[in-house]
Amino acid sequence: MSSLPETAAPVLPEGMLYVDGVIRRAEHGRTYDNIGPWTGQSVGVAADASAADVEQAIAAARRAFDTTDWSTNHEKRFALVKKLYDLFEANKDRLVAIARHEVGAPLVAVNRAQVANCLNSWRDLMEVFPQVKWEKDFGVKATAFGTSQRTAHYEAIGVAAAITPWNFPLYVNAEKVVSALLAGCTVILKPAPDTPLAGAIFGELAAEAGFPEGVLNVITASDPAEAGEMLVTDPRVDLITFTGSTAIGKHIMRQGAETMKRQFLELGGKSVNIVLDDEPNFARVVASSILVFHAGQGCAVQSRLLVPRARYEEAKQILKAAYDGFADKWGHFDEPTCAMGPVVSKKQMERVKAYIDLGVEEGATLLSGGNLRPDKGTGWFIEPTCFVDVTNDMRIAQEEIFGPVLVVIPFEDDEDAIRIANDSVYGLSGGVWSGELQRGIDVAKQVRTGTIGINGGTPINGDLPFGGYKQSGIGRAWGVEGIEEYLETKVMAYPV
DSSP state letter for 297: -
Reply yes or no on whether 258 is catalytic.
Answer: no
Query: What is residue 84's three-state secondary structure?
Result: helix
- The alpha-helical segments, DSSP class H, found in 292-394 are 312-326, 346-362
Supply φ then ψ for residue 74, to 5 degrees. Answer: -60, -40
Provide the phi-psi class of 434: left if phi over 0, else alpha when psi is between -120 and 50, else beta. beta
- Selecting among 299, 338, 383, 485, the annotated active-site residue is 299
25-29: long-range contacts, CB 8 A cutoff, minimum separation 24? 26/50, 26/53, 26/221, 27/52, 27/53
Name which of 278, 266, 375, 280 is nearest 328 in CA terms: 375
Contact between residue 430 and residue 302 where contact means Cβ atoms under 8 Å apart = yes
The whole-angstrom separation of Cα 443 and Cα 105 is 34
Name which of 240, 174, 217, 212 is nearest 77 in CA terms: 212
The whole-angstrom separation of Cα 234 and Cα 305 is 43
The whole-angstrom separation of Cα 82 and Cα 87 is 9
Contact between residue 2 and residue 106 where contact means Cβ atoms under 8 Å apart = no
Reply yes or no on whether 400 is catalytic.
Answer: no
Name which of 141, 140, 221, 132 is nearest 178 in CA terms: 132
- Those residues with Cβ within 8 angstroms of residue 267's Cβ, 6 or more apart along the chain or in another chain: 243, 244, 245, 246, 249, 299, 426, 428, 468, 471, 472, 473
Maximal C-alpha separation, the chain: 79
The whole-angstrom separation of Cα 117 and Cα 162 is 19
Q: Could you give the C-alpha distances from 212 to 72, 188, 342, 461, in angstroms and in order?
A: 14, 14, 39, 30
* Cα Rg, the chain, nearest whole Å: 23
- Selecting among 266, 279, 400, 485, the annotated active-site residue is 266
Q: Which residues are part of the catalytic machinery?
A: 266, 299
